[in-house]
Amino acid sequence: MKLFKHRPTEGYQTKTSIINRRKAILTTAKYTFFGLIGLRLLWLQVFQGNKYSILSDRNRFKEWKIAAERGLILDRFNNKIAENRQLYRIALIKGDVTDLDFVLTTLNKFLRLDNEIIEKTKTDFTKLRKFQPYVINKNLTWSEFSKINSNLFILNGVQPFISMERHYNYPYEFAHVLGYVGVPNENDLQNQKDDLFRTPGIKIGKLGIEKILNRELIGTPGFTRFEVNAAGRAVRTVEFIDGVSGNALKTSLDLELQKLTYQKLGRYAGSAIAMDIKTGEVLACVSTPSFDTNKFAFGITQPEFNELLKNERKPLINKFLSGQYSPGSVVKPIIALAALENKIVDQDYTHFCSGKIELYGQEFYCWKDGGHGRINLKDAIKKSCDIYFYEVARLLGVDRLAETIRKFNFGQTTLKDFDEEKKGLVPDTKWKKNVLGKPWLLGETLITGIGQGYILATPMQICKSIAEFANGGYAVNPTFYLDEKSKLSRMDFDAENIKIINEALVAATNEPGGTSYGSRLSGKLRFAGKTGTSQVTKLTIKDREDNANPNSREYKYRDHSLFAGFGPVEEPKYAVAVVAEHAGPGSRVAAPIASSMFDFLFKKRISNA
Amino acid sequence: MRETVKISKIFLLIEKFQKLDRSLIYMILVLGLISILSLYSIDKGQGTIYLKHLVRFIFAFLILIIVAFTHVNFWYRYAYHFYFLILFLLVVLKFVGVTAKGAQRWLDFGFFHVQPSEVAKLAIILVLAKFYNLVKVENTNKIFSLLVAAILILIPFLLVLRQPDLGTAVLILGAALGTLWIVGLNRKIFISGFIIVILCLPFIFAGMKPYQKQRVINFFDKERDPLGANYQVIQSKIGIGSGGIFGKGYLRGSQSSLDFVPENHTDFVFSHFAEEFGLIGSLLLLWLFFSIIKRVTLIGDQSKNNFSKIFCYAFAFNFFLYIAINLGMVTGLLPVVGVPLPILSYGGTAMLTNMIGFGIVLSSKLYNEDFI
């Protein structure tokens, strides 16, 4: 067996030629494969180059939006009612924080954090993605802020920063009309088409004007474009683009009047509105008791929020839009107008009031024991005689009554955008049949005539209706803004009839015997108006006997005190509506509040002008 | 007399220096330069990887020169010794190897780590070149010589496969098959072997480690799992593709620098190069690689002994195999197996192995008139 040759020179030629031939074939294979790689590169880099460039940039750049400064909110005289303040805060950057417990205990030494905040930070922190900042929910003072800054070298991953945050200068006074801002929740994010609300640190309007005009106020966020690495850490800042702060919003509100109104409503739960009778501009609208919107802007604590929810005087409810009340006697001008328009009565029509009547097997009382005697339309309004209006309502019938009441927008919203606004209720036979499934009772017509029973109205509707009387029968659209031109359009009422009622309203305040005579203004400028005392429950005989002392009843069964008026009498300019819940007779509580509002308007806004 | 001997030795050295294949050396130096610049660019001048690589390159280049001046006969004589030394190291590795990424690949020599499997590629070429230099041409396809060759190949192949290191094992097998092809093994054997492999594929697949299976599955389903197993290739393709025709420019590549491409210093180094220098740069690099292969083949052509010829061709093929598999892998043409790009990729042993290989090639050129 000679497998191996002793000298490799033997058979040298043949082996070499075989090797050379095989090499040549191999070289061809190499050429082919290199060509293939070349083509592949051509495909990737030329034909798909653009696609991959985009993908590369998408990898590389991340944008961090920065919320713009929110627009200021001004009153009609350019006083700032909502502005922004510099706040000193700290953020923890996940991934940079090496030891969260250590960082928190160290921060605690400087800041004295609440346990609640520490626990919340710990739980929230675990949910974060890497390199996401977490803002600790505490505002630092300047000295705390500088202390943290000078100790940053031991605080890995702590990032102090200054931010502009919403501040309400009059948090209680304007709480319900301005609303407040807050961090968007899941719901807000889902209802949003673009990703504006996903801007880190952004606050959005949650209620009131802040919510309605959120888009105008929020501005355009700026952004920083970072180059990030695969782990998501920002490597360098590529560009920085400033945001555009939101537009300043000038409202129709009058800061001084708002403050005065809030103060006058004082301890009562209720609301008061002042409105320009020609433009519908709302000068003041207060709902009490109120709450601190600044607390809401920073995330109110659960116990504090629960406290507000539990309060039986409902501080969170916007009473001038969502409070629905039996209007009581403040509806009488409308009832009277309905009667005049339908020519059921004229201004000389008289009726005898004996203090009570018996109809359909029921007894109906006038508020005045012993009655008003024979009384005409003007005096019936002036003295708010219930018996007269029972009769008028009986003659009219509820459907004709309802028709006129509806013309004043009762049963409909007065504003476009306030989700919380309630419609109130104007009952008629059809409504009762459809909704309650019962036939209308005639007795119900009578009490509708004095604003009791099913009828419900919001203070805004009441104010709007009295403004429409005051301007001589032109429709008014309430607004909180100055730039909206509201066109006056005639309502289809006889101007003469409106005039008759207005004269009666003037008498009610300025002539002895009028229901709000006690609250009249003695100066040159006077106001006119109608009181209302709306019963919350049907009164028993015993209640009537105790009427002298309304406080004898449990709070929630006490009467609401209402007033709706306008002024000055000679040349009406303003309308005011006041509702004080469970406060007793309208003449005793609501009328004096309205009186002081008119007093302010006449002295500060008309005399000066 | 002594003086003249000394002088003639010096003249001999000068003569040898003149005979040294300078164009191959220049091309290797250019490749080394590209490598260091790329590694510098990946880290944007941060870190020490490019410096380490520079030191290794200089060290390996010195070895190359030493090997080049060593007579090719030395490698012929000690080819079997070398082969068994590597086998010994591969066995030792089983017991004292450093484990990294789930595989025992490195031997720790204190100040440096050696990856015997990389050196095994060279050993298998050397041993086969010597063996087939000895085997008579008519006995090449005899069963006995086939058996010997099979044993020579399979022992290191299986040892490396068990580490497990599929990439290197495939390269060892590839280099060996290339050598067998060059020495004139019957085509029928290749064809029947190929058919057998195809038939055995399901069993090979079944015997794979889970991550190896995953890679194969991912290769056939590119859109699968973009953040997981296919992430590397997708990011590498983004890097290459975003380079466009002219590239983003030196130090302007982002994909590797920002760590989107994994293994950016080693297996996927080409991705960064292509991103910064575009199609033009990539094709030039491809051309450089090809020129080196052509040069090595040419040296084989010029050599008058079969050992040198077989070695040069086999080494050129092995070098080609590295490039082909690596570029195929980073451009998404082939599944991901851990194969570095020769000289360009960061890694000491592979660099050293390649440089020793080039040294032997240069030595073949230097002594191409000599018979063994």
- Distance CA(B314)–CA(B181), nearest Å, equals 9
- Distance CA(A448)–CA(A440), nearest Å, equals 12
Beta bridge partners of A237: A226
Q: Which of B341, B320, B210 is nearest to B263 (CA)?
A: B341
Q: What sign does the CA torsion over B263, B268, B270, B274 have?
A: negative
Q: What sign does the CA torsion over B189, B192, B194, B199 have?
A: negative
The DSSP secondary-structure symbol of B138 reads: G
The residue type found at A158 is V
What's residue B57's pLDDT? 94
What's residue A6's pLDDT? 47
pLDDT in tens, A112-150: 888 888 888 888 788 777 776 777 877 788 888 888 888
pLDDT bucket at B167, cuts 50 / 70 / 90: confident
- Distance CA(A194)–CA(A430), nearest Å, equals 45
Q: Which residues of B226-245 are buried (b: 16+ CB within 10 A; e: fewer)?
A: eeebbbbbbbbbbbbbbbbe
Here the tokens at position B351 are: 């660099």
Q: Which of B 222-251 lie inside 8 A of A, CB atoms? A: 235, 237-245
Task: Chain A: give the shortest CA distance to residue B155, in Å.
Answer: 23
Please check whether residue A374 is in contact with residue A352, taking contact to mean a CB–CB distance below 8 angstroms. Answer: yes
**Neighbour tally for B123: CB within 10 Å:** 26
Contacting residues of A for B301, CB less than 8 Å apart: 20
Indicate whether A324 pLDDT > 90: yes
Across A477-505, average pLDDT: 87
| Chain A residue closest in CA terms to B275 | A45
pLDDT above 70 as % of chain B: 93
Contacting residues of A for B260, CB less than 8 Å apart: 59-60, 229-230
Q: Looking at the partner chain, which of A30, A49, A55 has a beta carbon nearest the beta carbon of B320?
A: A30
Across A583-587, average pLDDT: 88
Please check whether residue B345 is in contact with residue B330, taking contact to mean a CB–CB distance below 8 angstroms. Answer: no
pLDDT bucket at A4, cuts 50 / 70 / 90: low
Task: Chain B: give the shortest CA distance to residue A201, in Å.
Answer: 27
Please check whether residue A449 is in contact with residue A328, taking contact to mean a CB–CB distance below 8 angstroms. Answer: no
pLDDT in tens, A229-240: 777 777 777 888
- Distance CA(A353)–CA(A366), nearest Å, equals 8
Burial class (CB in 10 A: 0-12, 13-18, 19+), A229: middle
pLDDT in tens, A181-229: 988 887 887 877 777 787 767 888 989 999 999 988 988 888 878 788 7
- Distance CA(A581)–CA(B294), nearest Å, equals 101
Here the tokens at position A73 are: 């909110």
The residue type found at A149 is N
Q: Chain A contact for B328, CB < 8 A?
A: yes
First to last CA, chain B: 30
Residues 6+ away with beta carbon under 8 Å from A522: none
Here the tokens at position A161 are: 């920063």
- Distance CA(A67)–CA(A175), nearest Å, equals 23
Here the tokens at position A466 are: 């009295």
Here the tokens at position B39 are: 């590694």
Contacting residues of B for A10, CB less than 8 Å apart: 136
Q: Looking at the partner chain, which of A27, A228, A229 has a beta carbon nearest the beta carbon of B297?
A: A27
Q: Where are the alpha helices (DSSP H) in B21-137?
A: 22-42, 49-69, 72-77, 79-96, 116-134
What's residue A10's pLDDT? 47
Whether residues A19 and B309 touch (CB distance < 8 A) is answered with: yes
Please check whether residue B282 is in contact with residue A43, taking contact to mean a CB–CB distance below 8 angstroms. Answer: no
Q: What sign does the CA torsion over A441, A445, A447, A451 have?
A: positive
Q: Looking at the partner chain, which of A19, A45, A59 has a beta carbon nearest the beta carbon of B279?
A: A45
Indicate whether A547 pLDDT > 60: no
Indicate whether B102 pLDDT > 70: no
Q: Looking at the partner chain, which of A11, A19, A33 has a beta carbon nearest the beta carbon of B136?
A: A11
Across A318-325, average pLDDT: 93
Q: Where are the alpha helices (DSSP H) in B225-268?
A: 231-242
Here the tokens at position A546 are: 């105790």
pLDDT bucket at B354, cuts 50 / 70 / 90: very high
Across B242-267, average pLDDT: 88
Whether residues B320 and A38 touch (CB distance < 8 A) is answered with: no
Contacting residues of B for A2, CB less than 8 Å apart: 136
pLDDT in tens, A500-539: 999 999 999 999 989 999 999 988 899 999 999 998 876 6
A interface test, pick of B187, B242, B248, B307 with most A CB neighbours within 10 Å: B242
Q: Which helix (H) or strand (E) holds A400?
A: helix A398-407
Residues 6+ away with beta carbon under 8 Å from B198: none
Task: Chain A: give the shortest CA distance to residue B58, in Å.
Answer: 29
Task: Chain B: give the shortest CA distance to residue A120, in Å.
Answer: 32
Contacting residues of A for B235, CB less than 8 Å apart: 59
Whether residues A44 and B240 touch (CB distance < 8 A) is answered with: yes
Whether residues A53 and B244 touch (CB distance < 8 A) is answered with: yes
Most confident listed range (A180-194, B81-95, B279-293, B333-347): B279-293
Q: Looking at the partner chain, which of A36, A49, A57 has a beta carbon nearest the beta carbon of B244?
A: A49
pLDDT bucket at B258, cuts 50 / 70 / 90: confident
Whether residues A33 and B324 touch (CB distance < 8 A) is answered with: yes
**Neighbour tally for A409: CB within 10 Å:** 23
DSSP E strand boundaries for A56-148? 61-66, 73-74, 80-93, 133-135
What's residue A395's pLDDT? 92
Is the preceding omega at residue A478 within 30 degrees of 0, hence cis?
no
What's residue B51's pLDDT? 92
Indicate whether A3 pLDDT > 80: no
- Distance CA(B289)–CA(B41), nearest Å, equals 21
3-class SS of residue A470: helix
Q: Which of B272, B353, B255 is nearest to B56 (CA)?
A: B353
Please check whether residue A572 is in contact with residue A470, taking contact to mean a CB–CB distance below 8 angstroms. Answer: yes
Tokens 């660099």 found at:
B351
Whether residues B135 and A27 touch (CB distance < 8 A) is answered with: no
Across B340-361, average pLDDT: 92
Task: Chain B: give the shortest CA distance to residue A55, in Å.
Answer: 7
pLDDT in tens, A289-317: 999 999 888 778 788 889 999 998 999 99
What's residue A543's pLDDT? 60
Is the preceding omega at residue A459 within 30 degrees of 0, hence cis?
no
Q: Which of B229, B112, B219, B116 is nearest to B162 (CA)?
A: B116
What's residue A59's pLDDT? 83
Please check whether residue A319 is in contact with residue A175, taking contact to mean a CB–CB distance below 8 angstroms. Answer: no
Across B163-172, average pLDDT: 84
Q: Which of B 56-85 lie inside 8 A of A, CB atoms? A: none
Residue A132: half-sphere exposure toward Cβ, Cα within 13 Å: 11
What's residue A385's pLDDT? 93
Contacting residues of B for A231, CB less than 8 Å apart: 259
- Distance CA(A136)–CA(A113), nearest Å, equals 10
Here the tokens at position A226 are: 């970072």
Across A307-336, average pLDDT: 93
pLDDT bucket at B14, cuts 50 / 70 / 90: confident
Across A587-591, average pLDDT: 92
Whether residues B331 and A227 touch (CB distance < 8 A) is answered with: no
Beta bridge partners of A282: A275
pLDDT above 90 as % of chain A: 50
Q: Chain A contact for B221, CB < 8 A?
A: no
Indicate whether B198 pLDDT > 50: yes
Please check whether residue A131 is in contact with residue A233, taking contact to mean a CB–CB distance below 8 angstroms. Answer: yes
Least confident of A89-98, A322-331, A374-383, B154-163: A89-98
3-class SS of residue B319: helix
Q: Chain A contact for B307, CB < 8 A?
A: yes
Please check whether residue A184 is in contact with residue A214, taking contact to mean a CB–CB distance below 8 angstroms. Answer: no
Enumerate the domain spans of chain B.
Answer: 21-366
Whether residues B136 and A3 touch (CB distance < 8 A) is answered with: yes
Q: How do strand A249-250 and strand A73-74 relate by DSSP bridges?
A: parallel
CA angle B57, B83, B309 (to 5 degrees): 75
Task: Chain B: give the shortest CA distance to residue A108, in Å.
Answer: 36
What's residue A1's pLDDT? 43
- Distance CA(A47)–CA(A53), nearest Å, equals 11
